[in-house]
Chain A
Amino acid sequence: GQNIDQPTEMTATEGAIVQINCTYQTSGFNGLFWYQQHAGEAPTFLSYNVLDGLEEKGRFSSFLSRSKGYSYLLLKELQMKDSASYLCAVTLSGGYNKLIFGAGTRLAVHP
């Protein structure tokens, strides 16, 4: 089976840095996506990692270690609008674009 684990909830302070971890155990691996989802809204694409290493995009960075089945999303200079659920999703090798999602991490940013 496929298993993707993320912490259920996290809290952080405005202006701080937060790291959201994701571990996966899947039969085959192609790439890992991070999505942000505000309550009642659609998931929006944040990042895509295929190779090991860090991908930086503004205040958001994502890291992947394929050998460890591990990724994290790093959010810097937190803003109140960053309060949302963050979804880790994996696509499998040899397959199509099926996203296998974790349950998501609800992040609450406090003043």
Chain B
Amino acid sequence: DAGVTQSPTHLIKTRGQHVTLRCSPISGHKSVSWYQQVLGQGPQFIFQYYEKEERGRGNFPDRFSARQFPNYSSELNVNALLLGDSALYLCASSFWDRGQPQHFGDGTRLSIL
């Protein structure tokens, strides 16, 4: 069975640009969450979506947005990129929206020049 898939694997952008990251959850999983992981730190929660509705938002600026599609895949958008946005962006999926282990994709490594 396919796990969580994310694209692209790596991305290089410059300050001020915008980026779209994509995630396909494990088949049957209806909840998708996004996390940002800076080197040497644990992942930080950005968003959770369940059944196409936003269920939670972390402490990130409005430059970060996301959505979930009818097939449960998801996109994370970041506008007006800053150097500090350089990180590994992880997508995780689970069947329900709570009390379930989340399964992570390999992430998108975003570098801002």
Contacts and interface: CB of A to CB of B under 8 A. Distances in A.
Interface string B29-68: 0010101000011111100101000011010000000000
B99 A103 contact: no
Contacts of A4: 42
A89 B92 CA distance: 14
Interface stretch (B14-22, B78-86, B100-108): B100-108
A98 B42 contact: no
A43 B92 CA distance: 10
A44 interface: yes
A31 B99 contact: yes
Given A97-B31, A97-B94, A102 B42 contact: yes
Contacts of A62: none
Given A43-B90, A101-B44, A96 B101 contact: no
A33 B92 CA distance: 14
A103 B33 contact: no
Given A44-B104, A48-B101, A103 B90 contact: no
* From A48, A96, A97, A103, residue with most partner B Cβ within 10 Å: A97
Nearest to A31: B99
A103 B37 CA distance: 10
Contacts of A35: 104
Given A41-B106, A42-B104, A96 B41 contact: no
Interface string A16-60: 000000000000001101010000011111001010000000000
16 contacts: A31-B99, A33-B101, A33-B102, A35-B104, A42-B90, A42-B104, A43-B90, A50-B99, A87-B43, A89-B42, A99-B33, A99-B102, A101-B35, A101-B44, A103-B41, A104-B41
Interface of A: 4, 30-31, 33, 35, 41-45, 48, 50, 87, 89, 91, 95-104
